[in-house]
Amino acid sequence: MEPGGLVQAPTKLYYTQIPRSVMLGFMDAIAAERPQMLEMGIDKFGVDDDEISAQVDVSDVIETRLKANVCHV
């Protein structure tokens, strides 16, 4: 194996996507509190719900992810 090479190649790669229905619900929830966010065009975010082909439960590692995000501020 070359330096920096993978011991085993991954068989799947998952991308984080937000279903558009979730984004629309988010927009409804913030409309009264922060209408300026709607001016940012967040309705363009998310992907069509039928394009989501998998859902992975990450609830047991979400705290670690949130802590890691803070490291990149």
Q: What secondary structure does DSSP assign to 10-72, as a single string?
A: -S-------BHHHHHHHHHHHTTT-HHHHTTTGGG-SB-GGG-------TTTHHHHHHHHHTT
Q: What is the pLDDT of residues 36-60, one digit of tens each?
A: 777 776 667 789 999 999 998 989 9
Does any domain span residue 53?
Answer: yes
Q: Domain count for the chain, please give it.
A: 1
Answer yes or no: pTM beyond 0.75: no
Does any domain span residue 11?
Answer: no
Does any domain span residue 44?
Answer: yes
Mean pLDDT in residue range 8-27: 86
Residue 1 has pLDDT above 70, yes or no: no
Residue 55, domain extent: 20-70
Does any domain span residue 6?
Answer: no
pLDDT band at residue 3 under the 50/70/90 scheme = low
- Average model confidence (pLDDT) for the chain? 83
Does any domain span residue 7?
Answer: no
Does any domain span residue 12?
Answer: no
